Amino acid sequence: MTLTADAGTTTLDLGPARALTCRECGHQIPLAAEFACAECFGPLEVAYEFGNITRAQIEAGPKSIWRYRNLLPVPSDVDAHPNTEPGLTRLVKTDRLAAALGVKSLWVKDDTGNPTHSFKDRVVGVALAAARQLGFRVLACPSTGNLANAVAAAAARAGWQSVVLIPSSLERAKVLTTAVYDGALIAVDGNYDDVNRLATELAAEHEDWAFVNVNVRPYYAEGSKTLGFEVAEQLGWRLPDQVVVPVASGSQLTKVDKGFRELIELGLVDAKEYRVFGAQATGCSPVAAAFKAGHDVVTPVKPDTIARSLAIGAPADGPYVLDVVRRTNGAVENVSDEEVVEGIRLLARTEGIFAETAGGVTVATAKKLIETGQLDPDAETVLLITGDGLKTLDAVEDKIGPRATVPPSSEAVRAALAD
Amino acid sequence: MTLTADAGTTTLDLGPARALTCRECGHQIPLAAEFACAECFGPLEVAYEFGNITRAQIEAGPKSIWRYRNLLPVPSDVDAHPNTEPGLTRLVKTDRLAAALGVKSLWVKDDTGNPTHSFKDRVVGVALAAARQLGFRVLACPSTGNLANAVAAAAARAGWQSVVLIPSSLERAKVLTTAVYDGALIAVDGNYDDVNRLATELAAEHEDWAFVNVNVRPYYAEGSKTLGFEVAEQLGWRLPDQVVVPVASGSQLTKVDKGFRELIELGLVDAKEYRVFGAQATGCSPVAAAFKAGHDVVTPVKPDTIARSLAIGAPADGPYVLDVVRRTNGAVENVSDEEVVEGIRLLARTEGIFAETAGGVTVATAKKLIETGQLDPDAETVLLITGDGLKTLDAVEDKIGPRATVPPSSEAVRAALAD
């Protein structure tokens, strides 16, 4: 299982990162390109020794995730290397959406503003920085969309080779927005599970290929903490009462929670009890099912939903999602594909933000959590919108269009508007 | 021609704006919703009385164009009203593109990070703020794409009605990304010229409709100054030596220049001689043609280019573009549609930035300006990338795709990569 790349004789500088620790058995190993515990096969996570970190220090940093470099497994000069400079996206006060949902104080973290328009730029940015230190020279991933875009763009910007594996059935738009960066984009005859297995096989065979979500996953995953950091900083260095996070592998939700806890531990925000909620599409809701059944394990499902970026039937971090939502008095809820489309449209109509299907899942789930009394409408709430509607136009295609088609006369326009 | 909306009895607060001045005859009128001089029919422009403005003041402002509110025709509390918070997009040091083009120091201003992924969010943001003060209650425009997205989104966020007119032949993707915001999107049977004429007619008939690019155009246009402001601030409060700007109506180029001059006048940057270059697609290059012929007037053309967002055959600000490039020792150059696609691909391949066709025009024009000795390769240069490739996928569709389609085996992947 060891996939350590040749780091040469250079000293490994991953900033405050000190070791990898198994989340299951606690076994610790030195920093390396490993992702599974040699003792128990549990997932490895980055362990840190943070120095003294102040708000002023962070605020004086770059206008990207690198302002949090002292909280990430990256070298202190990370922003000196060419990268896509993701992060510090808008946190928008969404009063019209709040009114529509019947909540008092609502914010949307709008990650559509990232370089390739999804939160994946954050995790790929951290993966690339760590991969450089670990001695890799090729950036790779299996993906069905957002991750493919982010990896191909980040590699292009850094001057690295990329190898991106996609199912050959992928929509042409997602293929084009990856292919344009001119890395090695390989279409694989098979479904996403086939592509994933192939990636793990290739990672084992190619010591210089950093598969961001496979052999450098512990570093990659830490990038999602920056969503939590930014929410807190943008609220004026305080935590919200409640946060709703979409769940695919579950990694993002657990890392937002980890980010919040680190800020408390470091004294950067006041300690408080916050609640973390997970959002899934019913067509791929294994974590919601486990939560509702009171189970600790997550039973895999075969995904069938329009929310393809969340369609992971066997979510690696599912059990940890359950831990977080139970510890914080949150919940995991799920919504139908129809509700997903309504969620996209509600957010667009009220706030001018066009989210991809995953964002529709988040908005619709928030609605359901409020209606079922699980989410407190009087508590300050943040919704994470992690990807862009331009990439999933097919989801809304049949539902929307011009109000009317008219001849070029002002009378005709007025008649159309009066209808 | 007077289209003054009912501003009620409230005092008009448009910040430092003091009057509208005719660019042709200098005739001055009070601030109002007018766009053409009553004396000579010349275009009106906002005149200011700036107070004392410091770098520190600006830097302490919001992370959006509103940090420059004291340089725009908007009230000082502009960011208290819901808006899409555009601007402060990345200024990226593009060393790999610089090497490919053979220039020493190159930056890309990447406006794909705006809320609806083009610079139009800037101008619409200013138009909305001014329209609110001028007493309008409906935001409207004729458009073929980016402007439609920006107007519909901004109106949704503000809780305003919107009326967006598009040609009925518009691509489905651009229709959808406007329709999703649920304003009154009206498809008009006719070409863009028909739609434009219809907009002017409707603006005259509906006193409460603010057509952003018609009856509130003087305010709207000022939004483009923020591109110049941001470039200067992000360079560390100094102006670049050269800037390359795409030319559609020509407004953006003249406003970037105006922004630079205002910064010098206010002592926010050191005075210096900078050069402004315009970029057009050959299929719609009336300004480049006039520049090359040494003419002061621009002869309209019938556009035929894939760079549809630049396809304005009779550019209103064409003569002013000629003034600026001649005064600053710049030029206007044009490139073929093939070069446009190559420009898109070059930027994507070297820097991981996926621009729309207008961005391809800018990159390809910069290349041609260097090759023909018009742009100094040793001087610091900034390229303005003003829109996103996700909206013009059709331009690259036939040129790019997966490197190979293979069965799910690592041998097959290796074989494909070795080819």
According to the model, what pLDDT value does residue A96 have?
A: 98
According to the model, what pLDDT value does residue B6 have?
A: 45
Q: Considering only CA atoms, which of B397, B398, B393, B399 is closest in space to residue B172?
A: B393
Q: Is B375 helix (H, G, I), strand (E, B) or coil?
A: coil
Look at A366 and A173; give whichever has higher pLDDT.
A366
What is the C-alpha to C-alpha distance for residues B181 and A278, in angstroms, rounded to an integer?
26
Chain A closest-CA separation from residue B41 CA (Å) = 24
Average pLDDT for chain B: 95
According to the model, what pLDDT value does residue B172 have?
A: 84
- CA-CA distances (angstroms) from residue B20 to B26, B69, B209, B217, B367? 9, 18, 20, 11, 38
Across residues A380-386, what is the average pLDDT? 98
Instruction: Tell me the two tokens of residue A174.
Output: 């997602």
Q: Do A408 and B353 touch (CB under 8 A)?
A: no
According to the model, what pLDDT value does residue A302 have?
A: 93
Q: Provide the pLDDT confidence category of residue A11 given band limits of 50, 70 and 90.
A: confident
Tokens 């020279």 identify what position?
A137
Where exactly are the structural domains of chain A? 90-117+221-395, 137-215
Q: Which run of H or of E encompasses B362? A: helix B357-371
Q: Do B185 and A402 touch (CB under 8 A)?
A: yes
Q: Do B413 and A202 touch (CB under 8 A)?
A: yes
What is the C-alpha to C-alpha distance for residues A49 and A3, in angstroms, rounded to an integer?
24
Q: Considering only CA atoms, which of A159, A30, A200, A172 is closest in space to residue B400?
A: A172
According to the model, what pLDDT value does residue A3 have?
A: 38
* Range with lowest mean pLDDT among A183-187, B136-140, B171-175: B171-175
Q: Provide the pLDDT confidence category of residue A1 given band limits of 50, 70 and 90.
A: very low
Residue B380 confidence (pLDDT) above 80: yes
Instruction: Tell me the two tokens of residue B109.
Output: 């201003």
Residue A380 confidence (pLDDT) above 60: yes
Q: Which run of H or of E encompasses B326? A: helix B318-327
What is the C-alpha to C-alpha distance for residues B139 and B181, in angstroms, rounded to an integer?
13
Residue A273 confidence (pLDDT) above 90: yes
A389 reaches B (C-beta below 8 A): yes
According to the model, what pLDDT value does residue B171 have?
A: 81
Phi, psi of B76, deg, nearest 5:
-70, -20
**How many CB atoms neighbour CB B19 within 10 A?**
15
Chain A 67-106, residues with CB within 8 Å of chain B CB atoms: 82, 84-85, 88, 90, 92-93, 95-96
Chain B closest-CA separation from residue A399 CA (Å) = 9
Burial per residue of A22-43, b for 16 or more beta-carbon CB atoms within 10 angstroms, e otherwise: bbeeeeebebbbbbbbeeeeeb
Fold of the CATH domain B137-215: Rossmann fold (3.40.50)
According to the model, what pLDDT value does residue B7 have?
A: 40
CATH fold match for the domains B90-117+221-395 and B137-215: yes
pLDDT digits (tens, 9 = 90+) for A325-354: 999 999 999 999 999 999 999 999 999 999
- State ipTM: 0.95
What is the C-alpha to C-alpha distance for residues A136 and A4, in angstroms, rounded to an integer?
9
User: Is residue B94 within 8 Å of residue B350, measured between CB atoms?
Assistant: yes
* Range with lowest mean pLDDT among A24-38, A134-148, B9-23: B9-23
According to the model, what pLDDT value does residue A345 have?
A: 98
Q: Considering only CA atoms, which of A191, A85, A215 is closest in space to residue A141?
A: A215
Q: Strand B17-22 relative to strand A138-142: parallel, antiparallel, unpaired?
A: unpaired
Which of A341, A354, A385, A411 should one mutate to test binding to chain B, selecting the residue with the greatest count of B CBs within 10 A? Answer: A354
At the top level of CATH, the class of B90-117+221-395 is alpha beta
Q: Is A141 helix (H, G, I), strand (E, B) or coil?
A: strand
Q: Provide the pLDDT confidence category of residue B8 given band limits of 50, 70 and 90.
A: very low
Q: CA nearest B405 in A: which residue?
A: A187
Q: Do B405 and A92 touch (CB under 8 A)?
A: no
According to the model, what pLDDT value does residue B9 have?
A: 41
Number of cross-chain residue pairs from A and B with Cβ atoms under 8 Å apart: 236
Q: Provide the pLDDT confidence category of residue B1 given band limits of 50, 70 and 90.
A: very low
pLDDT digits (tens, 9 = 90+) for B324-372: 999 999 999 999 999 999 999 999 999 999 999 999 999 999 999 999 9
User: Is residue B350 within 8 Å of residue A156, measured between CB atoms?
Assistant: yes
A202 reaches B (C-beta below 8 A): yes
A363 reaches B (C-beta below 8 A): no
Burial label for A1, CB within 10 Å (0-12, 13-18, 19+), is exposed
According to the model, what pLDDT value does residue A5 have?
A: 44
User: Is residue A31 within 8 Å of residue A20, measured between CB atoms?
Assistant: yes
Using alpha carbons only, how large is chain A's radius of gyration in Å? 21
Instruction: Tell me the two tokens of residue B169.
Output: 């032949």
Residue A6 confidence (pLDDT) above 90: no
According to the model, what pLDDT value does residue B2 have?
A: 38
Across residues B91-104, what is the average pLDDT? 98
Q: Strand B331-335 relative to strand B138-142: parallel, antiparallel, unpaired?
A: unpaired
- Within 8 A by CB and 6+ apart from B161, the residues are B137, B138, B139, B155, B183, B184
B411 reaches A (C-beta below 8 A): no
According to the model, what pLDDT value does residue A191 have?
A: 83
- Within 8 A by CB and 6+ apart from A163, the residues are A138, A139, A140, A183, A184, A186, A202, A209, B413, B417
Nearest to B194 among A163, A197, A408 (CB): A408
Q: Provide the pLDDT confidence category of residue B182 given band limits of 50, 70 and 90.
A: very high
Instruction: Tell me the two tokens of residue A251.
Output: 């990694």
What is the C-alpha to C-alpha distance for residues A174 and A172, in angstroms, rounded to an integer?
6
Q: Provide the pLDDT confidence category of residue A63 given band limits of 50, 70 and 90.
A: very high
* Range with lowest mean pLDDT among B40-49, B143-152, B170-179, B377-386: B170-179
